[in-house]
Amino acid sequence: MTADLLDWTNAGLADMDDAQYRARATELAQRLRDEVHTGKLPFLRMDYLSALLPELGRLEPWLRGFDHMLLLGIGGSALGARALQKAFAPGQDRPGHQGPWLWIADNVDPADLESYLAWLPAEKTVVVTVSKSGGTIETVGQYFILREWLRDRLGKAWKDHALLVTDATRGFLREEAANQGIRALPVPDNLGGRYSVLSAVGLVPALFLGMDCRALTEGAREVAAPLADMDLHGEALAAHPAFELAVWANALMYAGFDEMIFFTYIPPMAWFGDWFAQLWAESLGKRGKGSQPIPAVGVTDQHSVNQMFLDGPRNKACLFLTSPAQPRGPRFPNELPDAFGYVRGKDFGELIHAEGLGTRMALSASGVPLVELRLSRPDQRAAGKLIALLGAATLLTGWLMDINPVDQPAVELGKRLAKARLGADGLEKEKAELDAFLGAQRNEQEF
């Protein structure tokens, strides 16, 4: 069986101080043992799956009774689910799809919400609300509206069309589950949204769409288990690909490479770039540090942003996702103009491999440090491995940067200001800041 591989051939930074990072591997191995032991890194230990997978098995017949799932969530509560949907259940975007349908309400978009209310058949729809805290106003606000919609159309049966994914013991949604008798699944403690795709957050929609949740989680465990081993030592950590990626990324930032391209040459997996962007940005953008993630899709973005990658500032590195085992597609006809004779009789799918190779070589020739992530097959097990690898690499990169990669303090300010603008109780400091901001002399120009 062909292995999934990291290809370091064009990674650059040959003068990196390996000895320095080997020394830190011992320190970080101890930190991993401590934090795994105290339950701080559930996305590596994944012990919550022993209860979750059987519960998903019990829920599966109920979920299969619906044609539509409307997922209410934002950020990490939606990006992973969308990446999995696009990769492994893409029929909804293609002609002739007969269901099931997953709709993701991941923004404050009144027009979208009104379309769901107008067109979804309530009797064939399950509404899944995902918020770890149970207080995310964008998500809980939509839940209030959908709850009323279900009640109006289904009466007392509305509760059988709802599922809440939230904290195990705290928050409004957990209280709602208890008070209303609504089905609920827990998000484990210390599992932030951007690390949560292989919990109920992402696995519930994956199950609804018919994906193999065990393959996803087994793939992830294959990568994560060595890092969650209570006997982990520095030498073993130093050899783990997640640590090697972290060392590479940290050294790049130190050398001034402050943008990280995630270039996907597996078209169905394009949305993994958006999932990675949140993971990387929200984890590492702290105290003036970090590198800006840039999702890019091959070959589409060869014709848009690749000019900047190739000939713009020399501040970019690249993670380049490929697989040799993609669909071959239809064959080009033999009757072609001579100018296009080079594709005569070839499979359409050969284009993606040729274009990917050309772009990879051009980036490397242009001085872009590049690591290829090559999946032997772009299947669900490989996706689980990829999710775990990038999650662990992000965590370890943050530790090498001496920042906390599992919080997002700057994001919270915007949330408090929004609540203050809407009149939430308290938040007097934020309300004063709003008054000062809105009362400032404007410098405006018509266009």
Active-site positions read: 282, 303, 415
User: What would you report as the CA-atom Rg of the chain, rounded to the nearest whole angstrom?
Assistant: 23
Using an 8 Å Cβ cutoff, are 123 and 67 in contact? no
How, if at all, do strands 316-322 and 370-374 pair?
parallel
Per the rule left: phi > 0, alpha: psi between -120 and 50, beta: everything else, 13 is left
Concatenated DSSP letters for 9-76? TT---TT--HHHHHHHHHHHHHHHHHHHHTTS-HHHH-TTHHHHHHHHHHHHHHHTT-SEEEEE--GG
Whether cis (ω within 30° of 0) applies to the bond prior to 95 is: no
Token pair recorded at residue 148? 């009323």
Give the pairing of strands 125-130 and 162-167: parallel
Q: What gap in Å lies between CA 311 and CA 389, rounded to an integer?
A: 30
Residues present in the chain in total: 447
The one-character DSSP state at 110 is H
Name the residue with tokens 């992973």. 80
Give every CB contact of residue 287 below 8 A, 6+ residues apart in sequence. 403
| Burial environment of residue 236 by CB neighbours within 10 A (0 to 12, 13 to 18, 19 or more) | middle
Token readout for 308 is 């900047």
Alpha helices (H) in 312-443, listed in sequence order: 350-365, 380-400, 409-421, 428-439
How far is 210 from 340, CA to CA, in rounded Å? Answer: 41
Question: What are the DSSP E strand ranges found in 106-182?
Answer: 125-130, 162-167
**DSSP-based three-state secondary structure for 334:** coil
**Calpha distance 273→383 (Å, rounded):** 13
* Percentages (nearest 5) of helix, strand, coil residues in the chain: 55, 15, 35
Is the CB of residue 136 less than 8 Å from the CB of residue 74?
yes
